[in-house]
Amino acid sequence: MKRFLLIATVVVVAALLIFAGATTLSAQSQTAQSSTTPWQMSFYPNLDWSGYPVYTQYSSSLNYNWGDHAPGPNMPSANWSMRATMNAYFYGGTYQFSILADDEFVFMIDNVAYMNTINAGLSGKKVIFSVPVSQGNHTVRVDYRQFTGPGYLYTSWDYVKPGDSTPVPPPDRPLPAPLPPESAASVQTGYGDFTPCIQQGLHQAECFHSDGAWNSPDRGSVQMEPQITVWGNCEPADSDVVWTVDATTDPMITKEFRCSKSLAGWFPH
């Protein structure tokens, strides 16, 4: 009888220890996701997060379905991008991240990319990956971009393995630059209607008209530029962007493009 009581006591104690450990892990997981600052979501009317955001909002979670609609005021319904950042407290250990996005995203912790679906053909497919994270506050960032059709982004993570781990960066390889956007069929800026130049394959100077301001470009300065190859409203003038011009090579071939003084598009720089 004494032996039976001893065995029963050991079983009960072991069960309590297991339950306590599971409760602690669950509590840490919840704390890791709730002890955060809100997501700051900055929206850009282009595909490469360039220039200044035209709309910013804050959210406690990063789970959105925009459908075919614009994500906010002054934003297009297609060919836009969003950068979401927040600071979160993590217990040391391994975390499993789950992201479902249409179209593409880059996931980063402390400016180190751990998942990148740009040009990877993973639009609309759930991506699950694990990252070891050291204990403390970390900056989490998600760069998302939407082309056409339904747009959505769902992000979550779970604490799956304790331990005081330090994130291990992926191989030292630069992120691929985004592909250039499709050239617009019609463009109008404060310097004129450039649609005829697009239709007839003319240099942007042929459609340029000065607005008369003292610090504005003149036709001569626009004539000195190479011809626009990617038509579309751009700003500011003379700003540069890097796009992938050949995605079939490894590494991909990129080229720098410059926004025309006419604000009507980009040419290779």
- What are the structural domain ranges in the chain? 35-162, 188-268
Distance CA 194, CA 69 (A): 27
Give, rounded to a whole angstrom, the gap between the first and last alpha carbons of the chain: 89
Q: What is the reported pLDDT for 211? A: 86
Q: Is 32 helix (H, G, I), strand (E, B) or coil?
A: helix
CA distances from 1 to 4, 7, 12, 236 (A): 5, 10, 17, 86
Confirm whether pTM is higher than 0.75.
no
pLDDT band at 147 (very low <50, low <70, confident <90, very high): very high
Q: What is the reported pLDDT for 36? A: 58
| 11 backbone dihedrals φ, ψ, rounded to 5° | -65, -45
Q: What is the reported pLDDT for 51? A: 85
Residue 192 has which token pair?
């004129």
Least confident of 75-79, 197-201, 245-249: 245-249
Query: Is a pLDDT exceeding 50 seen at residue 74?
Result: yes
Q: What is the reported pLDDT for 181? A: 80
Q: Give CB contacts under 8 A, 24+ apart, made by 18-27.
A: 25/159, 25/162
Q: What is the reported pLDDT for 91? A: 87
pLDDT band at 27 (very low <50, low <70, confident <90, very high): very low
Distance CA 55, CA 105 (A): 19
pLDDT band at 109 (very low <50, low <70, confident <90, very high): very high
Query: Is a pLDDT exceeding 70 seen at residue 165?
Result: no
User: pLDDT of 234-264, one tens digit each?
Assistant: 988 998 888 778 766 766 788 899 999 999 9
Q: What is the reported pLDDT for 58? A: 85
- List beta partners, residue 80: 146
- Average pLDDT of 157-183? 66
Q: What is the reported pLDDT for 31? A: 37
Residue 233 has which token pair?
């409203």
Whole-number CA gyration radius for the chain: 26
CA distances from 50 to 208, 252, 253 (A): 25, 20, 20
C-alpha 59: how far from chain center: 16
CA distances from 175 to 59, 189, 254 (A): 27, 32, 11
Kindly report the CATH class assigned to 35-162. Answer: mainly beta
User: What is the sign of the dihedral through the CA atoms of 126, 150, 74 and 255?
Assistant: positive
Distance CA 97, CA 159 (A): 9
Q: What is the reported pLDDT for 146? A: 95
| 260 backbone dihedrals φ, ψ, rounded to 5° | -65, 150
What integer best gives the mean pLDDT of the chain?
Answer: 82
User: pLDDT of 57-67, one tens digit each?
Assistant: 888 889 999 99
